[in-house]
Structure 1
């Protein structure tokens, strides 16, 4: 219950009118009405006076303090986002970045991102990039470090891009990705350029623009080859997601097969792991998340196998490769495939781990994908199915 709701409830329970309470809090009746309806935030002095007048035993003050903390945290996050976005625009616009030195902390941030909420990662990446940006502006660097710091600034921009996308803001995410692409261009780093192309495609897919997403992927192929890293495998999986969403089952499966062959050709590992790597588990996850957009049947069977494989690999693999958000999404994709295969009980079982998550772990992708499962389980064919009804109710409660 919010502070306005609690204030009104306690007043009504006490049988006190607005005018009566207004006398106790030393504000007029209209102001008090605004506090109760949430039109205006109440000052702390109002919460304290009302708490005493209504004999709330500190409940009103505690609720006011909790909501005030939330408001201050939201304001701080907004300031960080605004400052980070301004810096990305500056990085994009600079014609010639004077890079100072390779930033410490980039590799750690890339790994930590896989198991951390996007908000704190946004703060850390913005702080690290601020140090790089200051050196860029001042020109204090050794010539041999120039390319390295281009890459560091680009990777930190990439972390910001992912964080903003996970927070649901695709437009800001694209600006950070564009900054990362410019840095890759200035550094002459093909590996980072391929990663940026894949990330831009991911952003376009988030927005539902699969034609543009496919263009980003195909443009990225110019940066891959020679067995360097997982860039080609990631791009081909992104292509499969686009093609599946466009309804082309044969081409989507062929792209996934191409990703398998690309992984077999890898001779040198990725320069950086974590967010900038593309593990075997991640590849299986991409396959599962692609094929659920088709018409079921063999596609759903393969999606189920691949999602299960991704979950098993993450749970059994190294901690630094375990992407918790993607692992949770893999459960949703597994559930989606099982609904397509008419396995409602199996779908509910797959979702159980996600439905118990706290609010702060509900990234935008989870909300979007769970909503689709709820829609599928609400179809007339499942009318009267108690498991389907209970699962839909649980998803709706989580979204609320």
Structure 2
């Protein structure tokens, strides 16, 4: 099997056809209008992914992804192939994010490898760098922090503009902080801030860009992991800034996942300062969030907080006991955990 057909074979068309897929299936070849429509559809899905529940998006992502791979079965002119691979790579990247948010790390890894091969075929450094950032995320949430740091660093040589360097450095900071490497973490936080000041080129929209609010969310997590009074105070400042920036942004740019993550980091930071009223305030928003807003990473953070609240140091506190029960109850609620779009 040649390289192109090998990639196409990674995606099998099922019977769940939609009007969008039928449009692809009836196309005899690729023209400029179809290219423009695919790009617009990917941009829309990437933008919607920031603020809409995953459950509202994965069907359209899967449908469009299958359609693009179907076009790669030889319906394109040779000069169009690299752009189709770029489109396929971005859609596989979105599929990776779906699986990641659902906690399906094996499926996420599979999608990311297909996305990488598409980026290689397209010769697109920006997509290469972005895929390494998502692979770093997969490793991080599998608790392989060393691999997460290495993957973030591996993406930097491909960072050729936009916000991707700041994203990769922020991921490196968070991973090295989890390893207890304070020097590397602080250096990466500072380098990410420096990169933010040099951003000029535009990114592809939605989840393919790295807004300043998200950067402060990651910085807050990294600083909190380092511990110590000074770092915890800096974490409070970073997470608070992330929330303020997101809440002042247009609704469609407000990442519900990052807002919940920042509030959970603030709850943990205030717990370190024994400010239980502040802990309860920050947790209230998280505990009342709809299940379809609670990604796998938020559930992981909640379980970690539940474990922390059960530590002997808080055994005599009725406030902490109440908080622990509330967190346990939230963790027991059903959440969206299965995707109808597994890798083939």
Q: TM-score range by the shorter chain?
A: 0.7 to 0.9
Matched residue of 1:90: which SS?
coil
Matched, 1:90 2:5: no
Contact 1:221 1:235 in 2 (8 A): yes
| Alpha-carbon distance, 1:146 to partner | 2.3
> Could you tell me how far apart the structure 2 residues matched to 1:312 and 1:287 are?
15
| Alpha-carbon distance, 1:119 to partner | 2.8
| Alpha-carbon distance, 1:213 to partner | 1.2
> Could you tell me how far apart the structure 1 residues matched to 2:114 and 2:313 are?
48
Change (3 A) 1:136 1:258: same
> Could you tell me how far apart the structure 2 residues matched to 1:240 and 1:246 are?
10
Matched, 1:125 2:61: yes
Q: Which residue of 1 aligns with 2:130?
A: 195
> Could you tell me how far apart the structure 2 residues matched to 1:263 and 1:375 are?
35
Contact 2:54 2:292 in 1 (8 A): no
Q: Superposition RMSD on alpha carbons, in Å?
A: 1.9
Worse-matched range after superposition: 289-298 or 347-356: 289-298
- Among 324, 337, 342, the alignment partner of 2:256 is 324
- Among 383, 388, 394, the alignment partner of 2:315 is 383
Q: Which residue of 1 aligns with 2:50?
A: 114
Change (3 A) 1:88 1:371: farther
Contact 2:128 2:158 in 1 (8 A): yes
> Could you tell me how far apart the structure 2 residues matched to 1:364 and 1:296 are?
28
Normalising by structure 2, we get a TM-score of: 0.84
Matched, 1:395 2:311: no
User: Aligned residue pairs: how many?
Assistant: 304
Normalising by structure 1, we get a TM-score of: 0.73
> Could you tell me how far apart the structure 1 residues matched to 2:127 and 2:261 are?
25
Matched, 1:134 2:70: yes
Deviations 1:115-158 (A, max 9, x none): 22223322111000111011011x11234432222111111111
Deviations 1:22-50 (A, max 9, x none): xxxxxxxxxxxxxxxxxxxxxxxxxxxxx
- Among 219, 222, 247, the alignment partner of 2:157 is 222
Matched, 1:302 2:222: no
| Alpha-carbon distance, 1:237 to partner | 0.3
Contact 2:178 2:226 in 1 (8 A): yes
Contact 1:338 1:344 in 2 (8 A): yes
Change (3 A) 1:217 1:88: farther
Bigger Rg over Cα:
1
- Among 278, 281, 294, the alignment partner of 2:210 is 278
| Alpha-carbon distance, 1:383 to partner | 2.4
**Using CA pairs below 8 Å that are at least 6 residues apart, which structure has the higher relative contact order?**
2
- Among 184, 190, 199, the alignment partner of 1:257 is 190
- Stretches of 4+ aligned residues off by more than 6 angstroms: 86-89
Q: Which residue of 1 aligns with 2:301?
A: 369
Worse-matched range after superposition: 341-350 or 230-239: 341-350
